[in-house]
């Protein structure tokens, strides 16, 4: 019996649709964007509606349709939604107050024109969202000099956030500019050791109280580079001196000092020390406590890490007069001290240095 009733209903709808003009949607609200907490008014104007059923439907994430209203009746139990149907003008208006991010979707104004016929118009409702940088964003990158590196800033928001990159310490970006604007990734095709540092990824779209940002760290590995501040050092017998080399390398290198083929280590004659002032800068110092004839000659400073090796040579030669520093120790050479003790000591020091330069 039920199937017979359904059949008769279908026949009635078919006859009705055959004898009447097919309804049309003459106007629908264009794509609409609103703020969180704002109001959205979705309008659909229908001509030749007659007795055809009309609907407002929302498209879910999985593509499934959820009916919101049919004719003048609101199906959704949500006080934020209002419905207005003007039979004379054909206006069919769905209003949403206090819009939330979850309201963003496609809304369908639909007319059931027949058993297998539907007239549909779509309204896209978008909700402005402040930028949010995903916690899945990689925070640390470690590459070798000369390689390509891609640092990605994964962000969400509406409108789509603009990504800006800067350096945390204010230095120039690898392209020589103060900032770089990219869709998502900062790409450095041939990374240099100077590119090491902290980078800030800023996501901006003009929504919300401020800009969202994350800090990303780039570490660049490279072979040692040695700088010798004083490649030739004079000093008299039975006095102390210091040999210094500054090494830039990452990862930190193993450092060796040699005189000829003999390696130097801490002993009653030598004191070897290394001072790391930055992640990639190490100052290495050999202090000779009391020079004898065997100490004069060439000294080699060598630094090795997994990317390579570097060496520099320092020559220690004999002077006739002790050189200050380092033999001055903690001697006070300020103006007040010179006024107390006379300037003779300063003259001796200056003459000694000039004399050894001439030699």
Q: Which CATH number is associated with domain 130-221?
A: 2.60.40.10
Other beta carbons within 10 angstroms of residue 266's beta carbon come to 11
* Fold: same for 130-221 and 224-358: yes
Q: What is the pLDDT of residues 89-103, one digit of tens each?
A: 999 999 999 999 999
Whether 107 contacts 32, CB under 8 Å: no
The pLDDT of 143-153, averaged and rounded, is 95
Query: What sign does the dihedral 129-130-131-132 (CA atoms) show?
Result: negative
pLDDT at 57: 96
Check pLDDT > 80 for residue 17: no
Side-chain half-sphere exposure of 158, counting CA atoms within 13 A: 14
Q: Of 170-184, 210-224, 325-339, which range is least confident?
A: 325-339
Q: What is the pLDDT of residues 241-299, one digit of tens each?
A: 999 999 999 999 999 999 999 999 999 999 999 999 877 899 999 999 999 999 999 99
Whether 250 contacts 231, CB under 8 Å: no
Q: Of 61-65, 137-141, 352-356, which range is least confident?
A: 352-356
Say if pTM beats, i.e. exceeds, 0.75.
no
Q: Supply 191's token pair.
A: 């990374």
The rounded distance, in Å, linking the Cα atoms of 254 and 272 is 13
The candidate with the shortest Cα–Cα distance to 69, out of 83, 79, 87, is 83
pLDDT at 341: 44
Tell me 295's DSSP state: G
CA 301 to centroid of chain Cα atoms = 38
pLDDT at 357: 46
> Per DSSP, what are the bridge partners of residue 56?
69, 109
CA 236 to centroid of chain Cα atoms = 55
Query: What percent of the chain is helix, strand and coil (3-state, nearest 5)?
Result: 15, 50, 35
Check pLDDT > 90 for residue 356: no
Query: What sign does the dihedral 246-248-252-254 (CA atoms) show?
Result: negative
Please give the CATH topology (third level) of the domain spanning 21-127: Immunoglobulin-like (2.60.40)
The rounded distance, in Å, linking the Cα atoms of 256 and 284 is 9
Q: Can you tell me which residue has the tokens 């769905």?
A: 94
pLDDT at 19: 53
The rounded distance, in Å, linking the Cα atoms of 35 and 41 is 13
DSSP for 305-348, written as a single string: ETTEEEEEEEEEEE-SS--TTTTTTT---SHHHHHHH-SHHHHH
Q: Which pLDDT band, with edges at 50, 70 and 90, does 80 fall under? A: very high
Which of 82 and 137 is assigned the larger pLDDT? 82
The pLDDT of 211-236, averaged and rounded, is 96
pLDDT at 51: 85
Which of 9 and 77 is assigned the larger pLDDT? 77
pLDDT at 141: 96
Q: Can you tell me which residue has the tokens 């790391």?
A: 276
The rounded distance, in Å, linking the Cα atoms of 186 and 149 is 8
CA angle 285, 288, 294 (to 5 degrees): 130
Specify the CATH superfamily of domain 224-358: Immunoglobulins (2.60.40.10)
Check pLDDT > 70 for residue 156: yes
Domain segments of the chain as ranges: 21-127, 130-221, 224-358
pLDDT at 328: 66
């Amino acid at each position: 019996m039920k199937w017979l009733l359904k059949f008769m209903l279908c026949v009635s709808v078919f006859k009705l649709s055959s004898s009447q003009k097919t309804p049309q949607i003459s106007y629908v609200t264009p794509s609409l964007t609103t703020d969180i907490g704002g109001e959205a008014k979705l309008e659909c104007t229908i001509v030749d509606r007659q007795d055809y059923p009309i609907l407002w439907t929302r498209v879910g994430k999985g593509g499934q349709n959820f009916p919101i209203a049919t004719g003048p009746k609101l199906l959704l139990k949500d006080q934020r939604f209002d419905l207005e149907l003007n039979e004379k003008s054909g206006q069919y208006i769905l209003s949403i107050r206090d819009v939330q991010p979850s309201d963003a979707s496609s809304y369908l104004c639909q007319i059931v024109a027949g058993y297998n016929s539907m007239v549909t118009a779509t309204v896209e409702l978008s909700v402005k969202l402040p930028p949010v940088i995903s916690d899945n964003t990689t925070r640390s990158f470690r590459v070798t000099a000369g390689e390509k590196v891609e640092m990605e800033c994964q962000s969400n928001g509406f409108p789509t956030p603009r990504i800006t990159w800067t350096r945390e310490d204010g230095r120039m970006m690898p392209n020589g500019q103060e900032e770089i604007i990219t869709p998502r990734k900062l790409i450095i095709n041939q990374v240099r050791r100077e590119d090491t540092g902290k980078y800030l990824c800023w996501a901006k779209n003009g929504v919300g109280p401020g800009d969202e940002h994350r800090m990303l760290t780039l570490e660049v590995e490279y072979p040692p580079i040695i700088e010798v501040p004083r490649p030739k050092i004079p000093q008299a017998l039975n006095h102390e001196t210091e040999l210094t080399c500054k090494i830039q390398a990452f990862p930190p290198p193993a450092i060796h000092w040699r005189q000829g083929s003999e390696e130097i280590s801490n002993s009653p004659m030598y004191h070897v020390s290394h001072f790391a002032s930055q992640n990639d800068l190490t100052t290495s110092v050999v202090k000779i406590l009391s020079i004898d004839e065997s100490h004069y000659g060439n000294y080699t400073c060598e630094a090795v890490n997994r990317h390579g090796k570097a060496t520099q040579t320092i020559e220690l030669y004999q002077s006739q007069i002790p050189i200050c520093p380092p033999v001055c120790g903690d001697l006070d050479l300020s103006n007040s001290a010179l006024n107390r003790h006379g300037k003779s000591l300063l003259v001796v020091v200056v003459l000694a240095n000039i004399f050894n330069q001439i030699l």
